Amino acid sequence: MKHIKRRERESNEIRQKIIEAARSLFLNQGYAEVSMRKIADQIEYSPTTIYHYFANKEAVVRELLLEGNALFLQALQRRAEEAQAAGLNALDRLKTVSDAYVRFGTASPEYYNILFISDLESVSPVSLIDSGRFKGFELLESGLRAAMDDGSITQGDERLIATSVWSMLHGLTSLLLNFDLPTAKSNDELISFTIDTFFRGLSR
Question: Is residue 129 pLDDT above 60, yes or no?
Answer: no
Of 152 and 27, the one with more pLDDT: 152
Q: Give the per-residue pLDDT at 74.
A: 94
CB of 126 within 8 A of CB of 65? yes
Q: Give the per-residue pLDDT at 155.
A: 87
pLDDT band at residue 194, thresholds of 50, 70 and 90?
A: very high
Neighbours of 137 (CB within 10 A): 19
Cα 98 from chain centroid (whole Å):
12
Beta bridge partners of 196: none
Neighbours of 192 (CB within 10 A): 14
Cα 21 from Cα 13, distance rounded (Å): 12
Mean of per-residue pLDDT scores for the chain: 87
Reported pTM: 0.84
Cite the beta strand spans of 43-197 per DSSP E. none
Q: Give the per-residue pLDDT at 41.
A: 92
pLDDT band at residue 26, thresholds of 50, 70 and 90?
A: confident
Q: Which percentage of the chain shows pLDDT scores above 90?
A: 45
